[in-house]
Structure 1
Amino acid sequence: MKFIEKVVIRNKLSAFKKWMWTLLVLIFIFSSTISAQKDIPDDFCISTEEQQLFDRINILLEEYGKSPLETSVSLFYVAHLHVDDLINNHPDTSICNLSSWSDKGEWTACCHNPFVPQQDCMWDKPDELTRYKYRGYELAAYFEDEFNVDSVICLWSNSKQVLDMLLTAGNFEKKKWVCMGVGMNEHYVSLWFGQRPDKANETMLCKTNDMQGVAITGSSPGEPVTYYLVAASFGDLKDAKEALRRFKKTGFKNASILSEGQNHRVYLDQFNDLKEAMYEKKQLPYTYRDAWVFKK
């Protein structure tokens, strides 16, 4: 009888060990899968326009006496995933707003709306999709027609609600942004803010036919930077030249045109120092209140 009991106990122990071993293997596979999902692809890069918007947001912050934000490759990646989801899968339909996510990707889907707000779905996306384990806060916008960095800044700098978020005022006064990421495509713009530094690797500009990838921080070391006090931006060079004629007639002798592709910016003056450019902007008459500083 004792022999039979020992055999039964041994069989149970053997079965238990096999079960534990299987469980450990499954846990390892699951954790490895989750870890792989959180790894940002090695070929991930950002566009020139996204870098420009990142720089322009920081210049706007400095104009209001705020410190510039650090780069977060994790938040850039989350922003990219979200604008891709928005333009391809359109989760922002019916009562669902721009902070919604579809069920077409490796993330938790949600319909963010004023009736049943799901803030956690937004806040947790950086931790869900990357190794950035802190909350993220998104500012998203939709443009039906063609837009560029200038039009985004012009729109946001004249919106109190947006400025409150950027400057951590109003409903955001208890926040303190440390880092930021940007995503843009044909119709959507997404900014993500974090309150803790991102330890992920530095991101790179996407390579083009005539430009090698460089760090997002802007100009290469030693390369001179110029700050342009821009008064207007046009898609037609003829309109830009007409505006330039008017500006010169009103006394802006150093005014000129800065052209990039089909975007023609008419600037009033150029400077080598950001503080000097910001000072001159503040001295402009009220009619030039929409002028901005462009870094190149």
Structure 2
Amino acid sequence: MVSADEKGPEYWVKQENLLYKLLIEYRKELNVPNPDIARSPSLDQVAQAHAENPYFEAAGSTCNAHSWPATADKEAKWKSCCFAMGQKDTSPCMWNKPREITGDQYKGDGFEVYYGGDPNVYTAPDTAEDCLNAFKLSDNHRPVLINNGTWTEMKWEAVGCDATPDNDSGVAKIWTQCGGKNWTGPTVCAEGLVCKKFGVWYSQCKPAA
């Protein structure tokens, strides 16, 4: 995610394209074998779906931001699930999303790196450059980008990107936030949803069941 302002959708598309460009340049700078990775519209679709429907980490839960939330959207094509670092039985939560969201048009597994979420950590202004720099500083995400460590034998055939604007409270408008510290936005949820607390920083509209 990157910070919101008065810029329109075309600006965010440019940020996505820039992030992709910066990723390839970074791989080339480090002389990564096969540095070029094809841009995939299918993986762009997956990235967009997760950026627009993030999972907020709850206190005491092992499920992290790579998890996928339940949704009241009947058109949603993904299954809600928990992804927990170090728990291999939760890996399909991430791996299966390209197939779920594209209706099996994309056949491969999906692997995700993610930047954004906590307004206490990710503060404006955030750009494509800030996003890549954050990945570079992350011991968990950097190796994925440059096929290092446990990712050395992997060859990335395709990649997708999405950039989603934040609102003034530091959380994306489309995240259906309904409360939390410093929250100034709507506090009423749509029909069929209730406001559930996920820690001091945010509450989110979730299905009542």
Assess if the C-alpha contact under 8 Å between 2:115 and 2:135 holds in 1.
no
Q: Which residue number corresponds to residue 57 of structure 2? A: 92
Distance in structure 1 (CA, Å) of the matches to 2:108 and 2:85: 24
**Equivalence for 2:40:** 72
Equivalent residue for 2:20?
54
Instruction: Provide the C-alpha distance between the structure 1 equivalents of 2:111 and 2:136, rounded to a whole number of angstroms.
Output: 19
SS in 2 for 1:76: helix
Task: Name the CA shift for 1:150/1:114 in 2 (closer, same or farther; >3 Å).
Answer: closer
Structure 2 residue 106 is matched with structure 1 residue 132:
yes
Equivalent residue number for residue 181 of structure 1: 160
Q: Which structure dedicates a bigger proportion of its chain to helix?
A: 1
Supply the distance in 2 between the matched residues of 1:74 and 1:163 (Cα, whole angstroms): 23
Corresponding residue to 1:81 among 31, 35, 49: 49
Percent of residue pairs bearing the same amino acid type? 24
1:152 deviation in Å? Answer: 1.4
Unaligned runs of 5+ in 1: 1-45, 189-296
The list of structure 1 runs, each at least 4 consecutive aligned residues, that deviate by more than 4 angstroms after superposition, is: none
| 1:168 maps to 2:133 | no
Cα 1:151/1:79, change in 2 over 3 Å: same
Matches within 5 A, 1:1-296: 47-66=13-32, 67-86=35-54, 90-94=55-59, 95=61, 96-104=63-71, 105-114=76-85, 116-117=87-88, 118-130=90-102, 131-143=105-117, 144=119, 145-146=123-124, 147-186=126-165
Q: What is the alpha-carbon distance in structure 1 between the residues aligned to residue 150 and residue 132 of structure 2?
A: 21
Q: For structure 2, which runs of at least 5 residues remain unmatched after alignment?
A: 1-11, 172-209
User: Alpha-carbon deviations, 1:211-261, whole Å to 9, x = none?
Assistant: xxxxxxxxxxxxxxxxxxxxxxxxxxxxxxxxxxxxxxxxxxxxxxxxxxx
Q: Distance in 2 between matches of 1:115 and 1:159?
A: 17
Question: Could you say if the C-alpha distance between residues 65 and 116 of structure 1 is closer, same or farther in structure 2, counting changes exceeding 3 Å?
Answer: closer
User: What's the TM-score, normalizing by structure 2?
Assistant: 0.61
**What letter matches 1:80 in structure 2?**
Q
Q: Which has the higher contact order (CA 8 A, sep 6+)?
A: 2
Cα deviation digits, residues 17-53 of structure 1 (max 9, x gap): xxxxxxxxxxxxxxxxxxxxxxxxxxxxx71110110
Higher strand share: 1
Report the Cα offset of residue 155 of structure 1.
2.1
Q: Name which one, 1 or 2, has greater alpha-carbon Rg.
A: 1
CA distance in 2, matches of 1:115, 1:166: 19
Give the AA of the match of 1:121: C
Cα RMSD (Å): 2.0
Question: Residue 184 of structure 1: SS of its match in structure 2?
Answer: coil
In structure 2, the CA distance between the partners of 1:115 and 1:156, relative to structure 1 (3 Å rule), is closer
CA distance in 2, matches of 1:115, 1:152: 24
Contact 2:70/2:79 (<8 A) preserved: yes
> Is the contact made by 1:91 and 1:111 (CA closer than 8 Å) also made in structure 2?
no
TM-score, length of structure 1 as denominator length: 0.44
Quick check: 2:41–2:160 contact (8 Å CA) kept in 1?
yes
* SS of aligned partner of 1:182: coil
Q: Residue 128 of structure 1: SS of its match in structure 2?
A: helix
Q: Partner letter of residue 107 of structure 1?
A: W
Counterpart of 1:202 in structure 2 is: none
- Quote the residue 1:5 is aligned against: none
**Separation in 2, partners of 1:177, 1:115:** 22
Deviation at 1:186, TM superposition (A): 2.9
